[in-house]
Amino acid sequence: MLDLSSNFLSGEIPPTFSKLIRLEILNISHNHLSGRIPGSFSSLISLVSSDFSYNYLTGPIPVGITFQNALASPFVGNPGLCGNASGVIPCKRSTKKNNSVLFLVIGLVCGLLVLATTTFIILMLCHYKFKVVNVESNRSHQNDSTPESLIWEGEGKFTFGEIVEATEDFDDKYRIGKGGFGTVYKAILSSGRVLAVKRLDISDTSDQIPELSQISFQNEIRTLTEVRHRNIIKLHAFCSRKGSMYLVYQYAKRGSLAKVLYGSNRGAEDLDWDLRVRIAEGLAAAISYLHHDCSPPIVHRDVSLNNVLLDWDFVPKLSDFGTARLLSPDSSNWTGLAGSYGYMAPELAYTMRVTEKCDVYSFGVVALEIMMGRHPGEFLESLSDNRELLLKDVLDQRLLPPSGKLSAAVVLVVSIALACTRTAPESRPTMRYVAQELFTRSGAFLLEPLMTASIDTLDIPNKPGQDINCDLNH
């Protein structure tokens, strides 16, 4: 028997589990596992019971009596799974063509295409997982003296020329945002695919940005495109052109959390207490992944309300996680671009050194802002003089106070946020601990009820030693 349920596990299921030939019961439910259930699990002939429910698994259920005849309950909470199990959607099957002549024609055409492109592709990709595409624009950019370069991830093909055409050469009418790192444009390609393109104008920055070689850029982009997490915006590609850098991201339909939270009263109503708790939980999971599950670890440097994007179903997506690495990948010191005003850790004023604890502080500010419905700057500055202030009076007054288990979750979020905004960096918890506490909510029952809790009673003690590595892949 192997029971790993509710352990905040992430990553893919190790295929080596299939070597447990005497395993009879397997339970890995209620985690953050992703990817496919390994097909080699079909060889587990002694397996009589399994539970993969409430993860982020995708793809077909393995063949075999144990899996194909199972009820739906072992697979619920994984909308990407398919197969013959009861209650699970069938997998789509491609139609088989029996016409041998048609197969021959298709084979010949594919063979010619492969032969024409194999030499070029092998030379460019022999040491890389991603495609490096060199494009020289002769139509709309004849004055460029250097070729455009793009690094693509393997999920889709599109050219920089398509992006230029979709945005009419980055016309202002396609601009959807502007921040400290650059301007963001919305690009709808002819295929219907929607992308967010961030243009970084180096000449506009006050700091001297070091000139990196093409190889260094490729290494950085390859590292960032490998970052895959449900709550992190996907970085698809990079391009340099006319002294500017372009980052191509996944598009989030609802825009930034700041836009939704402050856009209108309707926005506040859309973000009910349950969604706010889930957004804080997802954001914590994303930062924890960057700090503890990436190699080398990635410090975001600019966690703020504007850099948290919302998908159509309000799933939070942390953005701009790679911009700082691209602009200065070998430096832990950051002066002009260390974060957004109001979210920066206080120690940056005298150390000028960016660490994981700076992200922890910024997360605490964002979490408080989500719960308060306003920036907590004045609240944090006067915290020492308002320790008896009741929590219910601090929360967003546009919503009715939460009740039941939800109120306990809100109290927990505020408590952890206060711990994250402690002045001394060493007294702040790690993001792994924060994410695990928010996910399990194991400490919620230890806190005072919402209606009587004061700020003084919410200052949870520091708990070193509870930061446990729960990643299956490490």
**Residue pLDDT tens, the chain, 474 long:** 888 888 888 889 998 888 888 888 889 998 989 998 988 888 887 888 888 888 888 888 887 777 766 665 788 888 888 887 766 788 876 555 445 667 777 877 787 777 777 776 776 665 444 343 333 333 334 334 343 445 554 455 788 889 999 999 999 999 998 766 678 999 999 989 999 998 876 554 444 444 544 556 566 667 777 888 999 998 888 777 777 788 888 899 999 999 999 986 666 778 999 999 999 999 999 999 999 998 888 898 889 999 999 999 999 999 876 565 555 444 444 444 456 889 999 998 888 888 999 999 999 999 999 999 999 999 998 887 777 889 999 999 999 999 989 999 999 999 999 999 999 999 999 999 999 999 988 766 667 888 888 888 876 554 444 443 333 333
Would you state the pLDDT for residue 432?
Answer: 96
Q: Which fold has domain 155-250?
A: Phosphorylase Kinase; domain 1 (3.30.200)
Q: Could you check whether 2-82 and 155-250 share the same CATH topology?
A: no
Would you state the pLDDT for residue 216?
Answer: 61
Active-site residues, by number, are 302
- Using DSSP, state whether 179 is helix, strand or coil: strand
What span, in angstroms and rounded, lies between the C-alpha atoms of 187 and 283? 26
Domain boundaries, the chain: 2-82, 155-250, 255-457
Closest to 166 measured CA to CA, from 196, 142, 145? 196
Q: What is the CATH number of domain 255-457?
A: 1.10.510.10
Would you state the pLDDT for residue 145?
Answer: 36
Would you state the pLDDT for residue 147?
Answer: 37
The dihedral built from the CA positions of residue 123, 125, 128 and 132, taken in this order, carries a sign that is positive
317 is in an annotated binding site: no
List alpha helices for 170-256, DSSP H: 214-225
Main-chain dihedrals φ then ψ at residue 248, nearest 5 degrees: -105, 120
Q: Which fold has domain 2-82?
A: 3.80.10
Closest to 199 measured CA to CA, from 231, 222, 171, 225? 171
- Using DSSP, state whether 257 is helix, strand or coil: helix
- Tokens 């402690």 locate to 422
List alpha helices for 271-347, DSSP H: 273-292, 323-327
Contact 168, 176 (CB under 8 A): no
What span, in angstroms and rounded, lies between the C-alpha atoms of 55 and 233? 19
Number of Cβ within 10 Å of residue 136's Cβ equals: 10
Contact 54, 76 (CB under 8 A): yes
What span, in angstroms and rounded, lies between the C-alpha atoms of 332 and 335? 10
Residue type, 171: D
